[in-house]
Structure 1
Amino acid sequence: MAMRVNLTPAQRHPATSSSTHYALKQVVGKGAYGIVYRAINRQTQKEVAIKVIEYDDEEELNEHMLEIDLLKNLRHQNIVKYHGFIQKSHQLYILLEYCSQGSLRDLVKRGPLDESDAKTFIRQTLEGLKYLHEQGVIHRDIKAANLLLDSRNVVKLADFGVSTRVNNLAMTYAGSPNWMAPEVMLGQGASTVSDIWSLGATVVEILTGNPPFHNLVNEAACYAIVHDSYIPPKSLSSSCRRFLSSCFQKNLFKRPRALELLNHEWLSETKQSILERFKEPESDNWDSDFIEVEVSPSKDHDIHDEQYYLKQLTQARVECHPHLIFSECDLGAVVSCLIDLCKRGQMKNVKEMFTYDLKYNEGRCRSLFITIGGLTYLLNHCPVVENILSECFINDMREMIKCGILAHCKSFSDPLLILSISSTFHELVDYKIWCQWCSQLPNMVESIIYGLENNEKMAEDILLKLSASSLFPMDKHFLSKLMALPLRNNLRLKYTILKSFNNLLERKEEQRENTIESFDSRPPVTPLSTSLPLSTPSVNIPVFPPQSTLPDRFMDWLLKSMPSATDDPHLIKNFIELCYNSSHLNQVSLGEIVEHREFIKLVKQLAQQLSGDLSIKYMKSLLLMALQLCVELSQEVNETTLSDMIDVSLQFLLVPEFATGGIDILLHCLQFALHERFKIYEDTTDIVIVVPSGDIRVPHRKLLQTFYSEEVKFGNFIPKFTKLCSLPPCNSLSYEIIIHKDFMDKVRSLFDLYRSSLIIQIDFLKFLKIVLTRYAEFMPQSKRKDISSEKLLSTGMKHAMLQPNANIIRNVANFLHHNWQIEKAQKGQVGADSVLIKQLCQDIELLQHGELQAGNKLIDKDGFAIPKFNPI
């Protein structure tokens, strides 16, 4: 397919051709339909975001082009800018505005926002929605992850992959469940006010860290959205709760529009200044300002002035009373005193003051301490103050990094502090720099293990990022510790460990960044590239480290970690991918998987469950990876697993996309049975393999159904099917193919469909030669022993010519004779001048009126015998 380039003027350059070059940098996002990269325009040196989408056919491409058609007509400061697209082979590259600050979801991961900060982002989101709705566009997937922030922290609505226009029928189930409006959940269709419901869920996500009903599984969450009322947390202001009630109005006709919400009282409230945050709140209930404490009749607790309490705070030998200090002293004076203590290294009372401040004073002292530069003096006394940092300042990591905490990390021992520093540092610097920094920390491995043992999501995220980079070494000791973690009842941890092992074996992102320089060089590929027909087992072959990289008994551990067929598809996919990556081209490892019969049974269950629903692209990728592994495993099949492996092959034959792989597995199984000298025969309907445990049957009808399917991609399928028909147990299969009512129609349609492919036409002619010869061989023959086998076969052929189907060979020969005539050739027809095509056509023509040449058989390049005939 020729490359198509469509760029906006800003992305064009006088010195370039239409195929502008871009250098792809790190991955900045992944979604259901593609991967988003940060990229550099090599001519202008400006950053863009590039969304790379794999597609299989024109229909799927047209679906993705709908997103482009929407984006190119949208121009608003709160909508992500569209810069153009490049279509090349089976990949589509959409060029978008690069938002360097990530998404609102990334911001919320570091802690929920307060209402005053959230309002700014919500106003901008509503401005973007107001513009979209005025243009007649429904976004359909509003959530924090799809609200990006540029370098000036301006909100940009992104990811229009499931958006639609109002005048189109928006009845499909699209979006993310926890953010989805009830009318969409019920299949009643989406409208512009459906985006308002999603906005309300996004407000909850920003202010609390999670969307409504996040603690429920998908089915329960869907039920709650439709039937229950969401009650906002009492910690939110009353005006905010009223704003959310408007958004969550179940009657969509009463739900406000974006323009109305922009004038809501919650968004109209003025933002509190930074100085107002440190003022004591006014309240008529004075009792709430006092904390009940035990006071002894000592003179120390008599009423004193401010200077007395501040002096107490600065004296290391005197007991500190934070409740009295905060109640009697000016907050600014207390902070100045704490900074002075930090300068002098007197930390006895500092931790007690900050601990009390966080518990009873809403952290106002800590906030002012940071604002006026106190952290710098505190960090001067690392690691003595490590416990203060981890208990009181863990949520202010960006400020601590600015003040120089990175220089002290090697001396820290608190795993959570190290993980928090690492996680925040990753957000601030280039990926390579971060990986190199982490590799130099002697306490990083122990911190990750501690975090994983205690279900810390930071540890999981850091492990996944580091495992993908060759700059961070992962030795056997580290891997053994990962394998020792308890995975049985923790599916999220199991996913993390399996994914990190996959990253180690593949190191995908590092390879892409080092090898992909522009779109005119090799384009990036996903772990399950589908640029080739899905009926062809194809996989990215990872650059494997030496076998010594993996610990001993790794495969045994992996197989014991096998998920069930009902587990999350992401987990299953990573398990199967790891099995493939750790056993590819390794006969010993493949043998271990085969011996563990439960793996083949798992694949069989997956094929049965998922083959009926391939509309979800992820399911198709999962089955493709399982098929690729089974093709290799079938070469190591044994008597015990033969039956299961054949069942797997037959299950894959039911799906046209996977038919080639299914035939490949079946071929290996039949070749194994022949090698082991099992009795194999054909009855009227099946190929039967006799093994000690019982007969194994391969139904002819499934093979015929596969061959006559309209959806099978024959380019890769037909050579393997030819091999199958050449095997001794498949005599009657060829006969049934030939006598099928659609045989001649299939011949004509295939030569028409592949008239421009010389290789496929030659492969199909070889197939015809095999099956037509077998067709003749299969005809009834005399049982007299005094007649030679050559004579019997010749007689059988002549007998075949007298049957109702006698004209089949003649019809095929006549069709082939006329197919390549120059005067009748169709547009794009090739092969008229091919010597091999002419020879194959002559061989088939001889089958009409010939006899076997005694003792002489042709052997094709695959080692299969083809009888040769002499003309009569």
Structure 2
Amino acid sequence: MATRVNLTPAQKHSSSSGNTHHYALKQVVGKGAYGIVYRAVNRQTGKQVAIKVIEYDEEEELNEHMLEIDLLKNLKHENIVKYHGFIQKSHQLFILLEYCSQGSLRDLIKRGPVDENECRAYIKQTLHGLRYLHEQGVIHRDIKAANLLLDGHNVVKLADFGVSTRVNSLAMTYAGSPNWMAPEVMMGQGATTVSDIWSLGATVVEILTGNPPFHNLVNEAACYAIVHDVYLPPKSLSSTCRKFMRACFQKIVFQRPTAQDLLKYDWITEPHKPSLERFREGEESSEDWRHDFIEVEVSPFKENDVADAQQNLNRLRQPGGHFNPYLIFNECDVYSIATCLIDLCQRGQLKTVEEMMTYDSQYKGGECKNMFITLGGIPALLSNIGLAEAVLSQFFIEDVKELIKCGILPYCGSIANVHLVLAVVAAYGAIVDFETWCQWCCKLPNIEDVIVKGLEADDRLAHDTLLSLSDANFPMKESLIARLMTLPLTLNKRLTYTVFKSLNSFLERKSVGSIDPDYAETESSTLEPQVTFSSPRFANLSAYSERRLLPEGFIDWLLKFTPNASEDQHLVKNFIELCFNAGHLDRVVLGEIVEHGGFLQLTQNLIQRFVGDSRTRYKKSMLSIALNLCVELSQEVNVTYLPTAVDVALGFLGIPDFITGGTEILMHCFLFAMHENCAITEDSLNILINCRTETVTIPRVTLLRTFYSEEPKFGNYITKFSRLCSLPPCKSLAFDIVSHPHFMRKTKALFDVYRSSLIIQIDFLKFLKLILTRYTEFAPRSVRKDIPTNLLISTAMQTNFVVGDCQVLSDVIEFLLSNWRPDNLRPNQVGGDSVLIKQLCRDIELLKNTTHSNDTKRLERNGLSIPAPVPSFP
């Protein structure tokens, strides 16, 4: 996917019109359910922004996240976080927002208590922002301290609009954080603008006490308390503050005040008083407190008491010497300290460097580290890479590109720190082209160990690296796959997704044979193996030569993670794809999947959910892959899972786009039942397969409906359906089809639709010959019109009849004789000069006067009698 950039004019730079989307990501400043927020710097302008990074798999997810952008770009208010634009790359969305350097109110209260005066100032600004939002018809739905940010001037900015919505109607979806959620939302009655007011009250409690209401309760208990109990504010708060809270916590929605109303409450309108105001003494006090202190003469400093900067630096240089970072940083200039640290790096005294860097990071904001980099200290660190790993990984992760410039790449193969290597790998990938990056990664001797250990630590960069390499020409060895199989997938769905996705990419890339990726989307493919072998001794080879790299027990391991149909759809789809990629055309693996039974049951449940669902394209794609594998599994089905396979086939027959595959699965089930000598019987409505103690019922009307449905890929379907109709268990199906009142209409319509396809016309004529032949052998001879079809079928199943003059047969013959006449040809119609079409039409014409006896007849491979050849019609 090409990169899509949309920036506000303020973020564009005249000198980099083609490079406006280049930003340097710094540290993580926030994490949420929808993505990670980074502090970033515009490389051209040097301005700071916040970038929210969201990963997505499908366009539907992207559309959901774009709703947040559409909302933000139209909001312009001092107390709403500013929107600067977005950058869309393959499976990643970067939303550029105003950077709030002071963090959130949640960060503020973690550092210490907040008094009412300070809290009131923040809440007043929040109310102004909410009033503006509600006037624009927007419900925030997730007001809490963590979503109220402070810029460099302590101005409150409402942020995180990921679950916000327009007030076109009641917002009925369950969204927000439970302890801050209004009762009406909790009960599923829908959110309104005053639902944000309840959340605001909970935020006041959070700021003043450190926690939201009912924080000591969990799960259902907290939800019950919010809906049914009354929250009592602490008595230590002022009466006006408690009154403000009670108004916010009004359970009757229509009596709860609006943001505009709350701005008039006494607690908000009270004048701000300094925190020390209450300790001021009255002006009438005339006491002179200055006389309570006695002036004392202090002796001058001794020489050894005077701070000596050079002496402190000398102590710092001494191996194993005692030094005080506080004195050094307060008495020495940054340049001298950084120069001294570079000297220590070259001498291998990295423990001292680590202590100084730690102090610099905690109390000096990294000032010394920045000078260290400016003076060329990184090469000095790399000269002792083994000892310097701790320093590099702890203090220079954010400066990985500087490390690359200084030559860290050749050392990556020997670095033991996983996070440092992953950071270098990711940064290098952002600098060079994808192919160069992949080639370099493949040469790293420790890349396999780094990826696995990174996944164990749930490092995001390890996930990204494995997914990227699996799409490239990365040699995923059996040892790596075996190590991936040992990871605790059951504890981490994201890890499961990454492992399944990467294995899918690897197997798809390594496949030798080509397969149809979507059964429902291809017209001419039959999904049958088309592999030829030069010698019989290779007859059992799989079409996937790289499948030998799958470790022993791979399928057993995979099937342990068989998901439920209700689980995350991305996880389910990747599981289905992995089963297909591991089992395609491998009879041993297919047999193992059938014996487990979980895949067929998963498909069965997915079909049931799909039929009653909104039929999204993503779920259709998921079912298409499952259908491809089920077609192959049906060829390896056993007696135990025959009923499930039949049910899966009937389920697919109920979905128009999957009728062809469902027909083939059902045909394989019939062939298996016949091979196992299962008793197959018919009644007036169903075909019955007696499978051990269970009877499998197949409604004939379901099979009949497939022919008369709007099958979009008729060319594939008619070949499968012809083979199904030729099987002995389906002997009455021909009568059902021909007896249908729309048979002639359907026949004419199909010849008209496919008049430009010679192959489909020939296949359909073969099908007509088949069913009409069976019809003439099967249908009872009667001129009565009042006999019900069910009675005719039941009578025909007990007696052999011969058709003499049959009206439907006459109609078909009359149509066929006129369809390809030169004077009757339609635009783009083909087949008028086809010898095969003429022969098939003649064969069908002979059926009208054919009498059936027990004489020996010439049979074709489907068991149908072949009339003697006749001259072609003019």
Q: Report the secondary structure of 2:475's partner residue.
A: coil
Residues 539 and 627 of structure 1: CA distance in aligned 2, closer, same or farther (over 3 Å): farther
1:462 aligns with 2:465: yes
After TM superposition, give the deviation of residue 640 of structure 1 in Å: 0.7
Q: How much has 1:388 moved relative to structure 2?
A: 1.1
* 2:842 counterpart of 1:842: yes
Aligned to 2:476, the other structure's residue is in SS state coil
Give 3-state SS (helix, strand or coil) of 2:563's partner. coil
8 Å CA contact 2:104–2:150 kept in 1: the answer is: no
The answer to whether 1:319 aligns with 2:322 is yes
Q: Is the 8 Å Cα contact of residues 78 and 124 (structure 1) preserved in structure 2?
A: no
Aligned residue for 1:697, secondary structure, equals strand
Residue 482 of structure 2: which of 450, 465, 480 is its match?
Answer: 480
1:128-148: CA deviations, max 9, x gaps? xxxxxxxxxxxxxx975699x
Residue 310 (structure 1) aligns with: 313
Deviation at 1:597, TM superposition (A): 1.1
- Contact residue 538 and residue 628 of structure 1 kept, 8 A: no
Change (3 A) 1:313 1:320: same
Q: Tell me by how many angstroms 1:866 deviates.
A: 3.7
Matched, 1:180 2:67: yes
Q: Deviations over 1:412-460 (max 9, x none)?
A: 2222222222222222223333333333333222222211112112222
Shift of 1:498: 1.5
Question: Could you tell me how far 1:507 is from its partner in structure 2?
Answer: 2.3
Q: Aligned residue for 1:497? A: 499
Kindly indicate whether the alpha-carbon contact (under 8 Å) linking 2:779 and 2:801 is maintained by their aligned counterparts in 1. no
Check conservation: 2:754, 2:761, Cα contact below 8 A: yes
Deviation of 1:726 after TM superposition, in Å, equals: 1.0
Indicate conservation of the 8 Å contact 2:28/2:39, yes or no: no
1:229 counterpart residue number: 143
Whole-angstrom CA distance in 2 between matches of 1:354 and 1:731: 85
Pick from 197, 202, 211: which aligns with 2:95?
202
User: Is the Cα contact below 8 Å between 1:193 and 1:252 reproduced in 2?
Assistant: no
Shift of 1:762: 0.8
The 1:738–1:301 alpha-carbon spacing in structure 2 relative to 1, beyond 3 Å, is farther
Task: Confirm or deny: 8 A CA contact 1:180 1:194 kept in the other structure.
Answer: no
Per the alignment, residue 272 of structure 1 pairs with none
Which residue does 2:124 correspond to in 1?
none
- How far apart are residue 179 of structure 1 and its match? 5.9
Which sits farther off after the overlay, 645-654 or 613-622?
613-622
Match of 1:865 in 2: 864
Structure 1 pair 612–415 and aligned structure 2 pair: CA distance change class (3 A): same
Gaps of 5+ in 2: 30-35, 85-93, 107-137, 169-192, 194-275, 277-300, 532-541, 783-795
CA distance in 1, matches of 2:389, 2:686: 74
Task: Check whether the contact 1:719–1:763 (CA below 8 A) recurs between aligned residues.
Answer: yes
Post-superposition offset of 1:353: 0.4
Distance in 1 separating the partners of 2:406 and 2:318: 27
Which stretch shifts more, 583-592 or 305-314? Answer: 305-314
How far apart are the structure 2 equivalents of 1:868 and 1:511?
Answer: 44
Instruction: Give 1:631's aligned amino acid.
Output: V
Shift of 1:504: 2.4
Identify the range of structure 1 (298-307 vs 331-340) with the bigger mean alpha-carbon deviation: 298-307
What is the one-letter code of the residue matched to 1:477? S
Distance 2:619 2:851 in 1: 52
Residue 241 (structure 1) shift? 5.3
Higher Rg of the two aligned structures? 2
1:730 aligns with 2:730: yes
Deviations 1:20-75 (A, max 9, x none): xxxxxxxxxxxxxxxx26xxxxxxxxxxx7x9xxxxxxxxxxxxxxxxxx99xx99
Letter in 2 for 1:532: T
What is the TM-score with the length of structure 1 in the denominator?
A: 0.67
> Per-residue displacement from partner, 1:254-289 (whole Å, max 9, x unpaired)?
x9xxxxxxxxxxxxxxxxxxxxxxxxxxxxx9xxxx
- Distance in 1, matches of 2:160 and 2:498, equals 39
**Partner of residue 688, structure 1:** 688
Distance 1:765 1:869 in 2: 17
What's 1:817 paired with? 817
Residues in 2 aligned to 1:866 and 1:198: alpha-carbon distance in whole angstroms: 79
Q: Measure the CA separation in 1 of the matches of 2:430 and 2:70.
A: 38
* 1:574 equivalenced with 2:574 (yes/no): yes
Distance 1:753 1:386, change over 3 A: same
Counterpart residue number, 2:393? 390
The answer to whether 1:796 aligns with 2:680 is no
State the match for 2:429 in structure 1.
426
Match of 2:454 in 1: 451
Q: Within 5 Å, which residues of 2 pair with 1:6-45?
A: 36=1
- SS of the residue aligned with 1:395? helix
On the 8 A contact 2:26/2:40 being kept in 1, the answer is no
Q: What is the CA-CA distance between 1:344 and the residue it aligns to? A: 3.9
Displacement, 1:181?
4.7
1:527–1:540 Cα contact (<8 Å) kept: no
CA distance in 1, matches of 2:148, 2:54: 25
Contact 2:520 2:657 in 1 (8 A): no
Structure 2 counterpart SS, 1:349: helix
TM-aligned CA distance change 1:386 to 1:539, over 3 Å: farther
Q: What's the CA shift for 1:703?
A: 1.2
**Judging changes above 3 Å, is the alpha-carbon distance between structure 1 residues 234 and 661 closer, same or farther for their aligned structure 2 residues?**
closer
Task: State the alpha-carbon separation in 1 of the partners of residues 855 and 586 from structure 2.
Answer: 42
- CA gap 1:107/1:590 in 2 versus in 1, 3 angstroms: farther
Match of 2:404 among 401, 406, 418: 401
Which moves more between the two structures, 698-707 or 429-438?
Answer: 429-438
When residues 772 and 591 of structure 1 are mapped into structure 2, their CA distance, relative to the original with a 3 A threshold, is same
Distance 1:654 1:580 in 2: 23
Does residue 779 of the first structure (1) align with residue 779 of the second (2)?
A: yes
TM normalised by structure 2 equals 0.67
Cα deviation for residue 551 of structure 1 reads 0.9
Q: CA 1:206–1:565 in 2, change beyond 3 Å: closer, same or farther?
A: farther
Q: CA shift at 1:531, angstroms? A: 5.8
Question: 5 Å matches for 1:66-105?
Answer: none
Q: What SS does the corresponding residue of 2:698 show, helix, strand or coil? A: strand
CA distance in 1, matches of 2:350, 2:10: 49
Aligned sequence identity (%): 41
Cα distance, 1:77 vs. partner?
12
User: What CA distance in whole angstroms lies between the structure 2 residues aligned with 1:197 and 1:564?
Assistant: 40
**Contact 2:594–2:600 (Cα < 8 Å) also in 1:** yes
Shift of 1:76: 9.7
Give the CA deviation at 1:176: 4.7
Give the drift of 1:642.
0.6
1:113–1:697 CA distance, 2 compared to 1 (3 A): closer
Matches within 5 A, 1:29-428: 36=1, 113-114=38-39, 117=42, 176-177=63-64, 180-181=67-68, 199=83, 202-203=95-96, 226-229=140-143, 231=145, 236-238=150-152, 242=156, 244=158, 302-428=305-431
Separation (CA, whole Å) in 1 of partners of 2:756 and 2:166: 58
**Which amino acid in structure 2 is aligned with residue 587 of structure 1?**
R
Residue 509 of structure 2: which of 502, 507, 510 is its match?
A: 507
| 8 A contact 1:765–1:841 mirrored in 2 | yes
CA-CA distance at 1:745 after TM superposition: 1.0
Equivalent position of 1:750 in the other structure: 750
Offset, 1:345: 3.7
**Alpha-carbon contact 1:467-1:474 (below 8 Å) kept:** yes
More RCO (CA 8 Å, sep 6+): 1
Closer/same/farther in 2, CA of residues 592 and 239 from structure 1, 3 Å limit: same
Return the offset for 1:661. 0.4
Residue 813 of structure 1 aligns with an amino acid whose one-letter code is: I
Distance 2:726 2:675 in 1: 15
Task: Compute the displacement of 1:694 (Å).
Answer: 1.4
Contact kept? 1:143, 1:198, Cα under 8 Å: no
1:533/1:713 contact within 8 Å kept: yes
- When structure 1 is superposed on structure 2, of 593-602 and 102-111 the one drifting more is 102-111
Whole-Å separation in 1 of the counterparts to 2:458 and 2:98:
21
